[in-house]
DNA sequence: CTGTATTCTGTAAACGATTACATACCAAGC
DNA sequence: GCTTGGTATGTAATCGTTTACAGAATACAG
């Protein structure tokens, strides 16, 4: 079932069939009609591999994320895919699991599959590896990480903004002993969030003896870190977590210890995943619009793909505090 | 950067390079070494499209799911992908969003991409469309739906078992006015769950005036249905939901109405997503092992791909009640 | 009718791998 | 030194499209 059989049935050449499929050049309406009928009757689907092989374009976009089981990412994937499907592109997802080895595997697959472009929403690989994509002239959009370069766009997320708002909120509520549970430190986004917290505390004159615990952006990591924090004396009166899953893990531990949020401890997450407002109490967190991020990333990538000059572009996305009951607000 | 350049650099023919890459036939160790060195130096990745075109195998598997933002599915995707990556296969995901049109698009893409096999974990398309895959001799594993046929395996999930256990549990706690919030009725799994509930109630002598509400397997659907249920009088003393997201949506509405779970109302979900034990109170639900499902699906598919006879196979996966505080247990 | 411009269609060469088949190489046995 | 047989390598066809180029058909003006 290939283009030849269609051609034979429609009594035209394969070139004409190809032109009809792609409406790349003028085909006489009556001929096109015959071809379409033949395609219909034979139930013909063009072979994308043959197509990609000769044209060099695969109509696929790569999207690399760090953890598909973190609801932040599926929401992002969905928005991105919606954009792509509308434009007749396909998305293939690479899931790194916070693991540089798997990240390398993802990038290799993207190259092998000859994707038209890649969006990298994670950063646990060594920079050299990521540059492999630009070295092969594959348009790439980096989030957080990545230096300006040809065939490249950067999306910078203003994590610091949201964290400043959060600290301001906590200080207004008279919290001073504020702990922070970080994410995996091989992630640029986790490093930035961590640094923004430390800087914010320093600016407010509390630079020493910060209560910092390590998490991993997963629920168990948050739980484990929280157990350590509860052993401290005096223990913190507020906890900020590097993401919502971490906060949710912490919340469970706090409640298991028969402490009340926000009466005994205030809690703030990051990401505003859909479950954040469903916890008891609903979680105060920092929001980052998935739709905006996805739309920006897609637009940035399309722009890179279209223009030949390989010039660079930068985008910024803001973050903001969402007050809910886990800090006593509302 | 293609196989020819590698061949030239290693001073061998392209055939030898191909053989080294695939270790398909004996290559003298010294020659293989030279080839590998050339590949390394040139940073060569084989073009998968060329490869697929001639060999007919793409090393990709399709996985079609209904909603990537429902945590049940990412967990499943992850398990499935782990299996696949270990065996050197890739997974491409199709997300239907409970939409038959998008389902059709997913299937078309799987055909176009020449996947080696497909696992269909959803069922909102018309059966004829799904048969398109088997008509093209693409090995396919169906969950819930699908009839026995060549190049086909079926995984049946014993939803009824878990639902029976749940009803037994509720009856033991003296509930009689038990409501059910269903899922999207174009999904076979939702229909089966619904039917199992109705059957179970009938068996227990409560077949009339059942309190049945429609949901959509999403949080808002559960919330909306619950609002209707709360308006009833007498209102139900227990609610079973077709999945956990539905139950979580219902839980929010119940608590907003200042009612207590389980004191005023008991609640049971389905799926046992990772957030189910993090709600307040933790959600009693019915568990269905994602790992077991993924491993079974992968094994079934591999078996279909390997054997040429196109014979059919059936598998069953069980479900069980997990008691937590939302029904007053523990 | 003829010539010319325009539109449409066909021919055939790519694209980059795999693989059937042919051939070169080499060691062992006599 | 000559078979024999196995191993290692090379040659060239092939997969199913796209697309540059050439050639046919059509329209239109004179």
Q: Above 80 in pLDDT, residue A128?
A: no
Interchain CB distance below 8 Å, B68 and A58 = no
Which pLDDT does position B330 carry in this prediction?
Answer: 63
Q: Cα–Cα distances in Å, from A119 out to A70, A102, A215, A304?
A: 18, 16, 26, 11
Specify the CATH number for the domain of residue B13. 1.10.260.40
**B170 and B212: one domain?**
yes
Q: How far apart are CA B249 and CA B221, in angstroms?
A: 7
Q: List chain B residues with CB under 8 Å of A252.
A: 278
What one-character DSSP code corresponds to residue B235?
P
CB-based contact (8 Å) between A55 and chain B? no
Average pLDDT, chain A: 92
Query: Which among A68, A90, A113 has the least Cβ separation from residue B77?
Result: A68
3-class DSSP state for residue A92? strand
**A277 and A303: one domain?**
no
Nucleotides, chain D, CB distance < 7 Å: 7-12, 14-20
Q: How far apart are CA A43 and CA A57, in angstroms?
A: 24
Q: Are A217 and A245 in contact (CB under 8 A)?
A: yes
Closest Cα to residue A178, out of A159, A196, A158? A196
3-class DSSP state for residue A220? helix
Question: Which domain covers residue B169, as residue numbers?
Answer: 159-288+322-327
Q: How far is the CA of B46 from the C1' of C26 (A)?
A: 32
A236 HSE (CA, 13 A, CB side) = 28
Q: Cα–Cα distances in Å, from B285 out to A319, B246, B288?
A: 35, 11, 10
**Probe site for chain A from B21, B64, B73, B95 (most A CB atoms < 10 A):** B95
3-class DSSP state for residue B314? strand
CB-based contact (8 Å) between B173 and chain A? no
Interchain CB distance below 8 Å, A69 and B48 = no
Q: Is residue B53 part of a domain?
A: no
**A265 and A168: one domain?**
yes
Q: Is residue A238 part of a domain?
A: yes
End-to-end, the C-alpha distance of chain B in Å comes to 64
Q: Is residue B303 part of a domain?
A: yes
Residue of A nearest to B66 (CA): A78
Q: How far apart are CA A19 and CA A9, in angstroms?
A: 16
Smallest CA–CA distance, residue B275 to chain A, in Å, is: 8
Residue of A nearest to B253 (CA): A278
Q: Is residue A48 part of a domain?
A: no
What token pair was written down for A149?
A: 């370069």
* Burial call B114-130: b when 16+ CB within 10 Å, e when fewer: bbbbbbbbbbbbeeeeb
pLDDT tens by residue, A226-278:
999 999 989 999 999 999 999 999 999 999 999 998 999 999 999 999 999 88
Q: Is residue B126 part of a domain?
A: yes
Which pLDDT does position B310 carry in this prediction?
Answer: 66
CB-based contact (8 Å) between B124 and chain A? no
What token pair was written down for B328?
A: 């007053």
pLDDT tens by residue, A293-325:
999 999 999 999 887 666 788 999 999 999 999
Q: Is residue B69 part of a domain?
A: yes
For chain B, how many structural domains are there in total?
Answer: 3
Q: List chain A residues with CB under 8 Å of B112.
A: 45-48
Q: How far is the CA of B26 from the C1' of C30 (A)?
A: 29
CB-based contact (8 Å) between B59 and chain A? no
CA A219, A220, A221: angle at the middle one, nearest 5?
A: 90
Closest Cα to residue B123, out of B148, B151, B142? B142
**A134 and A70: one domain?**
yes
Which pLDDT does position A330 carry in this prediction?
Answer: 63
**B75 and B173: one domain?**
no
**A23 and A93: one domain?**
no
pLDDT tens by residue, A169-203:
999 999 999 999 999 999 999 999 999 999 999 99
pLDDT tens by residue, B82-106:
999 888 899 999 999 999 888 988 9
**Which H or E run includes A267?**
strand A266-268
Which pLDDT does position B108 carry in this prediction?
Answer: 87
**A165 and A278: one domain?**
yes
**B71 and B180: one domain?**
no
Q: Is residue A52 part of a domain?
A: no
Residue of A nearest to B44 (CA): A112
* Burial call B147-163: b when 16+ CB within 10 Å, e when fewer: eeeebbbbbebbbbbbb
**B241 and B214: one domain?**
yes
**A235 and A218: one domain?**
yes
Q: List chain A residues with CB under 8 Å of B71.
A: 69, 71, 74
Residues with CB under 7 A from strand D: A 2-4, 14-15, 17-19, 21-22, 24, 44-47, 50-51, 53-55; B 11-16, 19, 25-28, 30-32, 50, 53-54
Specify the CATH number for the domain of residue B71. 3.40.50.2300
Q: What are phi and psi of B289, to 5 degrees?
A: -65, 115
Q: Can you list the residues of chain B whose pLDDT is less than 70?
A: 308-310, 329-330
Q: Is residue B91 part of a domain?
A: yes
Which pLDDT does position B88 carry in this prediction?
Answer: 85
Q: Are B45 and B74 in contact (CB under 8 A)?
A: no
Closest Cα to residue B62, out of B98, B97, B105, B106? B106
**A190 and A136: one domain?**
no
**B171 and B256: one domain?**
yes
Q: List chain B residues with CB under 8 Å of A114.
A: 47-49
């Amino acid at each position: 079932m290939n283009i030849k059989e269609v051609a034979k049935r429609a009594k035209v050449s394969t070139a004409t069939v190809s032109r009809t499929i792609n409406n790349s050049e003028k085909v006489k309406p009556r001929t096109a009609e015959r071809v379409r009928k033949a395609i219909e009757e034979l139930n013909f689907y063009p072979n994308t591999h043959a197509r990609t092989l000769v044209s060099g374009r695969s109509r696929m976009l790569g999207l690399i994320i760090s953890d598909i089981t973190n609801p932040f990412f599926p929401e992002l994937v969905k928005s991105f895919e919606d954009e792509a499907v509308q434009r007749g592109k396909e998305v293939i997802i690479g899931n790194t699991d916070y693991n540089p080895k798997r990240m390398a595997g993802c990038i290799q697959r993207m190259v092998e599959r000859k994707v038209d472009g890649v969006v990298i929403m994670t950063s646990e690989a060594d920079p050299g590896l990521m540059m492999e994509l630009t070295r092969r002239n594959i348009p790439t959009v980096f989030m957080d990480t990545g230096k300006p370069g040809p065939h490249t766009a950067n999306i910078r997320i203003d994590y610091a903004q949201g964290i400043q708002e959060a600290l301001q909120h906590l200080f207004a509520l008279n919290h001073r002993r504020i702990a922070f549970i970080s994410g995996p430190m091989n992630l640029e986004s986790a490093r930035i969030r961590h640094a923004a917290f430390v800087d914010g505390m320093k600016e407010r004159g509390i630079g020493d003896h910060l209560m910092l615990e390590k998490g991993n952006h997963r629920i168990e990591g948050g739980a484990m870190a929280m157990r350590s924090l509860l052993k401290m004396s005096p223990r913190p009166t507020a906890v900020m977590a590097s993401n919502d899953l971490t906060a949710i893990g912490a919340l469970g531990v706090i409640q298991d210890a028969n402490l009340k949020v926000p009466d005994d401890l205030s809690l703030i997450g990051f990401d505003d995943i859909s479950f954040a407002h469903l916890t008891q109490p609903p979680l105060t967190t920092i929001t980052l619009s998935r739709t905006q991020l996805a739309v920006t990333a897609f637009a940035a990538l399309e722009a890179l793909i279209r223009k030949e000059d390989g010039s660079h572009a930068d985008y910024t996305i803001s973050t903001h505090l969402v007050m809910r009951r886990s800090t006593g607000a509302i």
